[in-house]
Amino acid sequence: MDRRALLTSGATAAALAATGGVARAAEPRPTPVPSDAALARSLGFRSAHADVNGTRLHYVIGGQGSPLVLMGGWPQTWWQFRKVMPALARRHRVVVVDIRGMGGSAKPATGYDKKTMARDVRELIAVLGLGRVDVAGHDIGAMVGHSLAANHPEAVRRLALLDVAHPDESMYDLTLVPRPDQPFFLWWFAFNQVPLLPEALLAGRFRLLVDHLCGLMLKDQGAIADRDRSIYADAYSSPDAVRAANGWYRAFAQDVLDRRAHPRLALPVLGLVNEDNPDQLAVPLRRHVVDPAIRVVRGSGHYLAEERPDAVAGELLAFFGA
């Protein structure tokens, strides 16, 4: 090997060693992130915590009227509902929950099956003295919402599910290797199941994943602005936060088993779906709900409440009433 090649080889090896053997992509510069309390105040809400079911949940609360519980999903926090919260709060006492493992909530070692997470929320409802509530969930929060209605029917009046269904046997048929004419597939459902590796790769680099998913599942990239993406990336910046969130995915096999014991839901259920993949929610809803109402949110990808907040708020207000 000549001297130039040797120097090049040595520099490459040193660079790889400095990055743990992985050449790093350029990462966006971090944007300062306000606290949950400051973000909640900016919307006229209050940030708080409650100890329930052996864990600690963060939530924000505001508004007046009948109680409405909102739950979000991955890779976001309660902040994903920021655009619809003020409108909903004019008619409802709105409680937006960081589910177990999310954002300001605790990140215990276990308990990420949706039945346990539903119990968390059931106990929060009791602690807050809300009585029977309306529930809306997106993504992982929709899975928890379905489990809450199935396991604690005394607590839920009406249920809205945004773009995602509770895991069932069909989850085992998801595509891992896409066909040439299939540009979209849920690769992270498998990646997030892998022990330890996602935590090692994503801790401190989570903004890369947030931007990738926004690019994949938003029609309007401006719907989740740089500041909002930084808020989400910060919430998942530690290895513990990545591990906890991936716990939602690693519990899917248990969720499938638990769903077998669910009755078909007979309470009023609204499904809001994106226009590109409506069947991902509509088909399982018709299997597991007696008479679901299904609405397509036009002009939106997966992040419905951020991309089409007026349409989502309007559908929720019409469904839940006063």
- With contact defined as beta carbons under 8 Å apart, do 165 and 288 qualify? yes
Instruction: Say if strands 92-98 and 55-62 run parallel, antiparallel, or are unpaired.
Output: antiparallel
Give the tokens for residue 254: 């248990």
The span from the CA of 189 to the CA of 255, in Å, is 14
* One-letter identity of residue 11: A
The span from the CA of 297 to the CA of 313, in Å, is 11
Give the tokens for residue 256: 């499938």
Q: Which residue ranges in the chain fall short of pLDDT 70?
A: 1-31, 322
Which residues, including other chains, have CB under 8 Å from residue 105's CB and lie 6 or more apart?
55, 56, 57, 58, 97, 98, 99
- With contact defined as beta carbons under 8 Å apart, do 206 and 237 qualify? yes
DSSP state of 158: E
Tell which CATH architecture fits domain 32-320.
3-Layer(aba) Sandwich (3.40)
- With contact defined as beta carbons under 8 Å apart, do 293 and 269 qualify? yes
Nearest to 319 by CA among 162, 109, 116, 140: 162
Range 24-30 contact pairs with CB under 8 angstroms and sequence separation of 24 or more: 24/205, 25/208, 27/205, 27/207, 27/208, 28/207, 28/208, 28/211, 28/226, 30/207, 30/230, 30/233, 30/234
For residue 6, the model assigns a pLDDT of 36
For residue 12, the model assigns a pLDDT of 38
Task: Quote the Cα angle for 211-86-308, to 5°.
Answer: 45
For 275-290, the pLDDT digits (tens) are 998 998 999 999 999 9
In terms of C-beta density within 10 A (0-12 exposed, 13-18 middle, 19 or more buried), how is residue 42 classed?
Answer: exposed
As a residue count, the chain comes to: 322
Q: Is the peptide bond before 178 cis (omega within 30 degrees of 0)?
A: no
- With contact defined as beta carbons under 8 Å apart, do 251 and 112 qualify? yes
- With contact defined as beta carbons under 8 Å apart, do 302 and 192 qualify? no
For 117-156, the pLDDT digits (tens) are 999 999 999 999 999 999 999 999 999 999 999 999 999 9
Give the tokens for residue 208: 């890369």
The span from the CA of 112 to the CA of 246, in Å, is 9
- With contact defined as beta carbons under 8 Å apart, do 237 and 245 qualify? no
